Structure 1
Amino acid sequence: MTPPPSPAWVKSSYSNQDGGNCLEWSPTTAETAGHVPVRDSKTPQGPVLTFPTNAFTGFITALKTGELSA
């Protein structure tokens, strides 16, 4: 069995606004695999959290609408 390709990481547009809170995610993986991998860009070899696409979308929507504070 061939392992899945490594995610193509993209830095959040909100990263570096408040002193270095840097989040990266992989939109390509989200589109193809149905889950969103997220990591800290300051430690790219560190752990990766993975969320179901619909849960991650709901979280981002809640942040944008003010339902949650960033």
Structure 2
Amino acid sequence: MCERISIDPHICHGQACIRGTRIPVHQIVRMLACGDTIKQLLTDYPTLRREDIKAALDYAASLA
């Protein structure tokens, strides 16, 4: 698993999240699928970095 993704049973019920945040991977993927841009995500979540979004997509793709 990527160092930017964490799974902790005590954070967000064990869902895969961006490390150091409570932003679940599935939320990033869903927002992009609904048409939000990377720029919008970075504005909505100022703690996110482009590398976090890429890691979330890579993680989601590894599950498919």
TM-score range relative to shorter protein: 0.3 to 0.5
TM-score normalised by L of structure 2 = 0.34
Higher relative contact order (CA 8 A, sep 6+): 2
Looking at secondary structure, tell me which structure has more strand per residue: 1
Structure with more of its chain in helix, by fraction: 2
Task: Look at both structures and tell me which one has the larger radius of gyration over its CA atoms.
Answer: 1
